[in-house]
Each structure stands twice: as C-alpha cells, then as structure tokens.
C-alpha cells in the first residue's frame, strides 16, 4: 500500500504541474494573449485544490490536497495540506527568503542555503513547456468581460506526457502502466487578459503490481488578483534548524 500511495502521489504532483502548464498554453489568440500576460508577471498569488478518488476491488478511497502559493522574483511561499483518505492530514510548507530554503513538514523544520530556482524546483512550481496540439476542441464564450474557454486534452498524448515526467522522477520499470481518458477543462480570462480560474477533470487507470486502479481526479486553480503586487506573510524562522 505504501508503494501505491507513493506512485499515486507522484502522479498527482505531475497532474498539478500539467494544470499550471495548461493555464499558460491555451492555443490560438486567447492562448497567445494569456501566455504573454503570465510571462510578464513579476509576482503570482494562487490557490489550488485537488481531489482524487481511486477505486479497486470494489472499494473506493478519496484524498485531497489544498495549496496556497505565492512567487515573486526573490521569494517563494507554498503551503499545502494533504488529507489521506479521511485518516488525518499532512501539512508541508516551503518558503524561500534571503537566500535560504525553509521546509516545515511532519513536525520537522529545516533550512538550507539555496537559490530561488532550486527552491522552486523542489516545490514542483515549474514545468517544461507543453506542446500546443495536446489541447483540442476549444470553445469560447464571453460574458460581462470574462472569456470562458472550454477544452479537452488528447488522452494518448497526455499519457505520453505523464509517463515522460514520471520517468524523470523515478524508474518507470517499477511504475506499472497508466492509461488516461479524455481530459476536460475550463479556463476563465478576465478583461485584462489574465487567466483567473482553471478547472480540469482527469480520469485514468493505473496498473500497479498486477492490480488495476481506476482514478478520477479534479483540479481547481485560482489566480488571485493577477497583475497586482503580492505580499507574503512568512512565519518566524528562528525555530528552523540548518541542515548538515
């Protein structure tokens, strides 16, 4: 079970990164405008919620993760809470300030000298660019200045993307097989051209140690006041111990 949880959590992190990428890689004119706007931001404040229900052998389990993230050119704040099947939560908080990475998880607080790039990589806040043709069937509506884009994602290409990312994270010979169904999503863009909300539904199956697990995942993201200054509220770092 521990191995299965580790695999599923790895997939969840990859899908989260994919969702962030999608919000920046919507095709055609709306995509181009949103991409340009996001690339010009000096600071980002966002919230993300994920829910994943997995079913196997007639039983179902659900876990959720909620995250709040703020990024500027010099600082990082990422606070996450993972609820494991209703059996309790695990909080992991990552911060970067004044040349140090701070990690607070499972009652342990450590700090280590780091660059912001390394801190963002550890917190899984950056992804490589996705191919534009992975997104398809886009429809757009506009009401009260808000543009809503509905789209789907090619499941086969999405499977290839996830497998390539997981191969970087760990040995694929131990990962089993992944098959992703049709992914659907909605992105809302405000009058200034910034993405403000992204939601996605991601169905897939995994075969781990000969057992097939059906998974339904939903992701919700919100960019808070895009284009506006971001103020971070850091904790007291005096209790963090420098790693050896």
- pLDDT, averaged per 10 consecutive residues of the chain (244 residues), comes to 41 47 51 72 90 87 90 92 80 94 92 86 50 69 87 77 59 63 87 88 84 89 91 94 86
Strand pairing partners for 65? 50, 82
pLDDT for the residue 128: 35
**Does the 2-124+133-242 domain belong in CATH 1.10.287?**
no
pLDDT for the residue 28: 63
d(CA 181, CA 138): 17
Kindly report the number of other CB atoms within 10 A of residue 42's CB atom: 11
How far is residue 138 from each of residues 9, 18, 29, 150, measured CA to CA in Å? 29, 17, 12, 5
pLDDT for the residue 89: 81
The domain spans of the chain are 2-124+133-242
pLDDT for the residue 35: 65
Determine the 3-state secondary structure of 29 from DSSP: helix
pLDDT for the residue 210: 81
Residue length, the chain?
244
**Residue in 185, 174, 180, 164 with CA at minimum distance from that of residue 19:** 185
How far is residue 203 from each of residues 124, 185, 218, measured CA to CA in Å? 22, 12, 9
pLDDT for the residue 14: 45
Alpha helices in 87-223 (DSSP H): 116-122, 155-169
Which residue do the tokens 């052998």 mark? 57
Find all residues with CB under 8 Å of 165, minimum gap 6, and list them: 14, 17
């Amino acid at each position: 079970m521990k191995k299965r949880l580790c695999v599923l959590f790895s997939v969840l992190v990859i899908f989260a990164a994919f969702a962030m990428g999608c919000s920046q890689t919507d095709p055609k004119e709306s995509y181009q405008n949103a991409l340009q706007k996001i690339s010009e931001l000096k600071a980002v404040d966002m919230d993300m919620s994920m829910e994943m229900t997995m079913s196997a052998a007639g039983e179902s389990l659900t876990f959720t993760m909620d995250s709040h993230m703020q990024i500027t050119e010099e600082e990082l704040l990422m606070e996450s809470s993972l609820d494991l099947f209703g059996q309790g939560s695990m909080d992991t908080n990552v911060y970067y300030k004044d040349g140090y990475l701070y990690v607070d998880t499972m009652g342990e607080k450590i700090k280590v000298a780091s660059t912001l790039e390394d801190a963002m990589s550890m917190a899984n806040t950056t992804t490589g660019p996705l191919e534009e043709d992975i997104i398809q069937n886009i429809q757009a509506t506009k009401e009260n200045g808000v543009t809503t884009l509905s789209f789907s994602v090619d499941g086969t290409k999405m499977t290839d993307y996830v497998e390539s990312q997981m191969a970087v994270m760990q040995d694929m010979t131990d990962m089993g097989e992944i098959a992703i169904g049709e992914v659907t999503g909605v992105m809302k863009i405000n009058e200034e051209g910034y993405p403000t909300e992204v939601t996605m539904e991601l169905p897939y199956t995994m075969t781990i140690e000969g057992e097939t697990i059906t998974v339904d995942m939903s992701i919700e993201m919100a960019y808070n006041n895009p284009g506006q200054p971001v103020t971070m509220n850091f904790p007291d770092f005096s209790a963090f111990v420098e790693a050896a």
